[in-house]
Amino acid sequence: MVEWRCFLALELGAHYREELTSLIQGMRGALREAKWVDPASAHLTLHFFGSIDPAAVKSFSAELEPALKRLAPFDLLLKGVGCFPSETAARVLWTGIEGDLARLNRLKESVDETLRRLDLKIEDRTFKPHLTLARLRHPQAAVRALRAGSDFVTESKYRADHAVLFRSELRPTGAHYIPLRHFPFQATA
């Protein structure tokens, strides 16, 4: 049986392509063996489904649509850089999310609530909104990279007015994301 790797996300990359490209260029020399993301495909993951049967996409999409439609659009921006799990043994380098975090958290809760009703697994860890900039092949100190991006902040706000269900295809050149469905936020603020 063919399965798809899917995730639900806000797609901020196209909006912030130039700013993310500049940030990544300034940090490249500070880390060894890093796999940098394509700024145009940078996204804020709301839920990672993992490998699923394509037929299941239709059923949970039908449940997500009314839940997300009840939400109002909101504004976000990117600020600062950080890493997981720690500065001295970094595996992931990211940029932070600021703006209307209350509405972003409401969106995440709505997604989780809907998926829980469908008996889909929800992560137990705390939601830490970010955009991944790089994945590191080996844990390493990221202090120089963090210093290089410490004053990063985007000038424009991103208007989050929909979420996107993506299919991820792993290719030798990296992951390729295929949008499967858009879920607009239609409530008024």
CATH number of the domain encompassing residue 88: 3.90.1140.10
* Domain contains 83: yes
Among 189, 174, 80, 104, which residue's Cα sits nearest to residue 135?
Answer: 174
Strand blocks (E) in 28-126: 34-36, 44-52, 74-84, 90-99
* Domain contains 23: yes
Among 136, 108, 134, 133, which residue's Cα sits nearest to residue 123?
Answer: 108
Q: Say which residues have a Cβ less than 8 Å from residue 78's Cβ, sequence separation at least 6.
A: 12, 16, 19, 20, 95, 96, 97, 98, 131, 152, 153, 154
102 neighbors 75 (Cβ within 8 angstroms) = no
Q: How confident is the model at residue 142 (pLDDT cuts 50, 70, 90)?
A: confident
Q: What does the angle CA 74 – CA 78 – CA 81 come to, to the nearest 5 degrees?
A: 145
Surface-to-core class of residue 55, CB atoms within 10 Å of its CB (0-12 exposed, 13-18 middle, 19+ buried):
exposed
Say whether pLDDT at 108 is over 90. yes
Average pLDDT of the chain, as a whole number: 92
* Domain contains 155: yes
Could you list the residue range(s) of the whole structural domain that residue 165 is in? 4-184
If you average pLDDT over each of 53-57, 94-98, 141-145, 174-178, which comes out highest?
94-98
Number of CB atoms found within 10 A of residue 167's CB: 18
- Give the separation between CA 90 and CA 39, rounded to whole angstroms: 20
* Domain contains 189: no
pLDDT tens per residue across span 38-61: 999 999 999 999 999 999 898 899
> What is the mean pLDDT of the segment spanning 96-120?
95
If one counts the domains in the chain, the total is 1
* Domain contains 136: yes
Say whether pLDDT at 102 is over 80. yes
The terminus-to-terminus CA distance of the chain in angstroms comes to 43
pLDDT at 30: 84
Model's pTM, two decimal places? 0.93
Say whether pLDDT at 170 is over 90. no
* Domain contains 97: yes
